Structure 1
Amino acid sequence: MRRFKVLLLVLASLAGIWSLGIKTAYAEGPKLNAEGAILIEAESGQVLFEQDANKPWYPASITKTMTLALALEAVEKGKVKLSDIVQASENACSYGGSQVWLDPRDQFTLDQMLIAIAVGSANDASVAVAEHIAGTEENFVRQMNAKAKELGCTNTNFVNAHGLHDDNHYTSPADMAKIARYALSFPKILEYTSIKHYKFREAPKELILDNTNKLLWRYPGTDGLKTGTTSQAKRNLVSTVQRDNLRLIAVVMGADQKGGHFAESIKLYNWAFSQFGYKQFFGKGQVAAHTKVSKGVVGEIPLIAARKVGALMNKDQESKIETKAIIPDYIPAPVKKGQKVGEIQILQDGKIINKVDLLAKDSVAKATYWQLLKRTWRKVFSF
């Protein structure tokens, strides 16, 4: 433990100034009773509040935010399917703490296992999923650390997929916010983390899981993400709330009081929603611009936003927020549906604060010689 405390001090001194996005001075936020905390706007990563945000701390089960994210990434890449049967090993079944009492003879799908992790914080399911995806938990942990490094985490080292205590298993509020933001890039995760109750097993003894994130009941707009509690870590919570198109991510680590991780998170959200709003211009998948197609079967194509287009607004400050589409005058056929064609910039007082890709709404085939000739004739004779 002494070695880890020294490491905490060294890493904290090396951390310096950290920001996920644009760092701006706002009205002073609340003073929290926690080892560290951070609040960000999920879309841009803009930091709204931080208190010892770079301090390394034991994550406990909020580790599973990364486990869930990597599992869903593997699904997206086609490496595994949610319908896969996850065969739990003797090793996975041996894990205690929060669990679903897996047996090697059990037949549960990856989808069911991920719900067990998200809702019931199951350590045995976490190891089973890690082994299913990477062959061994050790291989999976290497993927966790590689992803953390890719996301820009500087105070993180994972040694397991579940979060049971180890002196060398740590992260920071700032790093966990990055991981949570990455996890939210997979829409399925909110389907899992917003489940309040789930019947995992019918027989021989019924097992109903209750979500450990009590903000789902206590704070409107909450739909994720994960709690974590051990005697060494105290009480941790990485959560997300959306109201009026504004999605926030809060990380509170090392709360002392019973329920303190929930109470301190609510303080953060109450402060943030009193200070900020969100101006949305286009939703994800909404047509945001058009451009012409050269030598295509149609002459113009609509472009849709890859994600929602908007910006955080400080309610106490006047600012001009606008958008600007950066697209070519023409794009050559053929055009593939979902192809990036340009981008839409979000500007605040004339300064670019975010960018969103513009994608082709439909595919456009290349026109044949006769189609082009017919089009030319129509133009000529229209005069």
Structure 2
Amino acid sequence: MRCRRNLLPSLFLILLFLLINPVVVFGEETKPPNSDVLFLYENLPAVTGTGIFDHDQLVLSAYSALVMDAATGQVLFAKNPHQARAIASTTKIMTALVAIECGNLNSATSVSQRAAGVEGSSVYLKPNEKLTLEQLLYGALMRSGNDACVAIAEQIAVREDIFVGFMNMKARQLGAKNTHFCNSNGLPNDHHYSSAYDLALITRAALKNPVFSRIVSTKTHVIPGTEGKRLLSNTNKMLWSYQGADGVKTGTTNAAGKCLVSSASRDGRRLIAVVLHSDDRWNESIKLLNYGFNRFEQRRVVDAGKTFASVEVRDGVLGRVPITVNRDVVVTVPIDRTGKLEQEVMLERKISAPVFPGQVVGKLQVLVEGQPVGGASLLTLQGTKKIPYYQSVWRRF
């Protein structure tokens, strides 16, 4: 009897220790100290790398050049991509993006004396002439009207300098680090510049807007004028000469040289090409787009909503719950090179109940030849309730 009394405190202390220190028993490994995240590395079927490859295969006169996959944002080729340069009328890509996001396409306003008198390329606006924002956007993007850009800026923000502040704010938001605007149309200014990479970033965001995408892919369009209709013909010759061409904007000044931001779509893929200060912007843009279409393909890694893996649940009715990704993960890979497409999974070792569907439990990153090219958040696909306390105690005991 005395022996049983002595055992009771010992059993109580053992049970209390197990409750306070939930080490793994019965042959399972103990959790390493200070390790709340499990790093897994899974090799997928061998494909090829991504990033900037084979510079020697593309010889370009352009001071800066780049081709980007519009869906994934991956750079497939680049030459001086982050070099800040004068960009001329390619500025109008940002002007249009900000105007579409901030304005009403159907709102009309009177053209100011200042807007009508702007120098350079023009759609020949007259003071007090009334046009809608949409009509001005056609004039700015198709015919590169400097006057239309100032009229747009004044319609949105009353003054052009205020509107330019919006443009710079949007550039920072998009991650365009080597960009600064001083006006809405790209007229020469020593402090007005961008880079091939930044222009591709801005264009990628703009092309997601259906209004912008529609306008820059239009070959001819008619808008009103004081002396009759204005027939606009797009300055981007790629729309007539390159299969799948659907944008975007030309630009020319003495400081910037001949510039072109172009886009084209084929077989469900869309590419963006940028050439700055090129001796032959049309053919060099075609070279970049052909390089992207012929040498790369898209590879689907994982689909949102499908079970990707599972995670262990502490004190849950279910011991494990399935996890998925928050979005489809698609990457662009070269066709003709051997390499590795890898998944790097950062996942909690064990999560505590209750668990709710859609709960973030980790992160997936996709790498090609060691370069991160895409990723997604890992979410629980199913939830589970917490078991009663007495069951938790018994399970641990």
Same fold (TM over 0.5): yes
Matched, 1:91 2:111: no
Q: Give the paired residue count.
A: 309
Shift of residue 231, structure 1, vs aligned partner: 2.2
Higher-Rg structure is: 2
Structure 1 pair 55–119 and aligned structure 2 pair: CA distance change class (3 A): same
Secondary structure at the aligned position of 1:31 is classed as coil
Is the 8 Å Cα contact of residues 247 and 263 (structure 2) preserved in structure 1? yes
* 2:249 equivalent in structure 1: 226
Is the 8 Å Cα contact of residues 343 and 355 (structure 1) preserved in structure 2? no
What is the aligned counterpart of 2:98 among 58, 70, 74? 70
- Percent identity between matched residues is 37
Structure 1: gaps of 5 or more residues = 1-21, 75-79, 291-302, 333-338, 360-383
What is the aligned counterpart of 1:130 among 138, 153, 172? 153
* 2:269 equivalent in structure 1: 246
Structure 2: gaps of 5 or more residues = 1-49, 308-323, 380-397
Shift of residue 343, structure 1, vs aligned partner: 10
Task: Say what the alpha-carbon RMSD is for the aligned residues.
Answer: 3.4
* 2:294 equivalent in structure 1: 274
Distance, in Å, in 2 between the alignment partners of 1:242 and 1:221 is 5
Structure 1 pair 238–349 and aligned structure 2 pair: CA distance change class (3 A): closer
Distance, in Å, in 2 between the alignment partners of 1:102 and 1:184 is 27
* 1:161 equivalent in structure 2: 184
What is the aligned counterpart of 1:263 among 283, 303, 317? 283
* 2:44 equivalent in structure 1: none
| Equivalent residue runs for 1:73-222 within 5 Å | 73-74=101-102, 80-201=103-224, 204-222=227-245
What is the aligned counterpart of 2:64 among 21, 32, 36? 36
Distance, in Å, in 2 between the alignment partners of 1:196 and 1:343 is 47
Secondary structure at the aligned position of 1:354 is classed as strand
Distance, in Å, in 2 between the alignment partners of 1:190 and 1:156 is 22
Is the 8 Å Cα contact of residues 309 and 346 (structure 1) preserved in structure 2? no
Paired amino acid for 2:246? D
Is the 8 Å Cα contact of residues 339 and 369 (structure 2) preserved in structure 1? no
Structure 1 pair 224–341 and aligned structure 2 pair: CA distance change class (3 A): farther
Distance, in Å, in 2 between the alignment partners of 1:318 and 1:66 is 38
TM-score, normalised via structure 1 length: 0.70
Larger RCO, structure (CA 8 Å, separation 6 or more):
2
Distance, in Å, in 2 between the alignment partners of 1:139 and 1:194 is 29
Matched, 1:57 2:85: yes
Distance, in Å, in 2 between the alignment partners of 1:312 and 1:87 is 47
Distance, in Å, in 2 between the alignment partners of 1:190 and 1:69 is 10
Secondary structure at the aligned position of 1:161 is classed as coil
Secondary structure at the aligned position of 1:311 is classed as strand
Structure 1 pair 154–346 and aligned structure 2 pair: CA distance change class (3 A): closer
What is the aligned counterpart of 2:335 among 315, 318, 322? 315
Is the 8 Å Cα contact of residues 343 and 356 (structure 1) preserved in structure 2? no
Secondary structure at the aligned position of 2:123 is classed as coil
Shift of residue 206, structure 1, vs aligned partner: 2.9
Paired amino acid for 1:85? A
Shift of residue 86, structure 1, vs aligned partner: 2.8
Shift of residue 350, structure 1, vs aligned partner: 11
Distance, in Å, in 2 between the alignment partners of 1:89 and 1:358 is 53
| Equivalent residue runs for 1:314-353 within 5 Å | 314-318=334-338, 347=366, 353=373
Paired amino acid for 2:331? A
Distance, in Å, in 1 between the alignment partners of 2:304 and 2:141 is 34
Shift of residue 23, structure 1, vs aligned partner: 3.5
Is the 8 Å Cα contact of residues 277 and 313 (structure 1) preserved in structure 2? yes
* 1:354 equivalent in structure 2: 374
Is the 8 Å Cα contact of residues 86 and 129 (structure 1) preserved in structure 2? no
